[in-house]
């Protein structure tokens, strides 16, 4: 359906995430990928979805002049845990500390998407609550050794081994935790 709806548009996905790119393929959206370097810094007073909304819009602003019939899609995901945003870890040690902090606790995964055309912009977001079992340190070490926690907010991918053995339940969208609230994005693109 989206392919037909968007046939007169050039859809630009400004994300290097293989997970987001796969979602676009699965949604049958023809798109191009364009990346622009953005310093992902946000004001200290922002909390929760305010952070991801701000960053998704900031990434969008890197594309200054959209043409008619171009649709730009940018997004950002954080893990919100103990009133703090967890982005992508910068080291193995930080990844381990994040995972041990999430262990035995719940946290929120928040993703915002900015959909922009030449004349309009809309930001949507979604929040999913994730409950982790108490993880053994050897489970965390195994995950870090065999997977890539440094390219994921909160240092984990729900679709990977740690999600299979460690997540007891979620409240909300699974796909949001993977990195894109596909149902909400679909709804907005159908409205274009």
Residues recognised as catalytic: 76
What CA–CA distance (Å, rounded) separates 94 from 164? Answer: 22
What CA–CA distance (Å, rounded) separates 30 from 12? Answer: 9
Residues in contact with 137: Cβ distance below 8 Å, sequence separation at least 6, in sequence order: 100
Nearest Cα neighbor of 179 from 21, 72, 26, 42 is: 21
Alpha-carbon distances, residue 113 vs 14, 31, 53, 183, 187 (angstroms): 11, 16, 7, 12, 12
């Amino acid at each position: 359906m989206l392919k037909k709806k968007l046939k007169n548009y050039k859809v630009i996905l400004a994300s290097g995430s293989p997970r987001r790119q796969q979602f676009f393929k699965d949604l049958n959206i023809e798109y191009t990928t364009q990346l622009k370097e953005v310093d992902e810094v946000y004001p200290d007073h922002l909390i929760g979805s305010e952070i991801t909304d701000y960053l998704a819009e900031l990434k969008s602003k890197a594309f200054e002049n959209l043409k008619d019939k171009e649709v730009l899609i940018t997004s950002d995901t954080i893990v919100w845990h103990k009133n703090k945003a967890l982005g992508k870890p910068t080291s193995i040690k930080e990844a381990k500390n994040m995972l041990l902090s999430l262990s035995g606790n719940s946290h929120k995964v928040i993703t915002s998407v900015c959909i922009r055309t030449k004349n309009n912009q809309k930001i949507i977001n979604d929040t999913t609550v994730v409950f982790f079992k108490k993880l053994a340190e050897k489970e965390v070490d195994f995950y870090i050794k065999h997977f890539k926690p440094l390219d994921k907010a909160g240092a984990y991918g729900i679709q990977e081994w740690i999600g299979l053995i460690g997540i007891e339940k979620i409240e909300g969208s699974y796909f949001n935790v993977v990195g894109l609230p596909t149902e909400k994005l679909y709804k907005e693109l159908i409205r274009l």
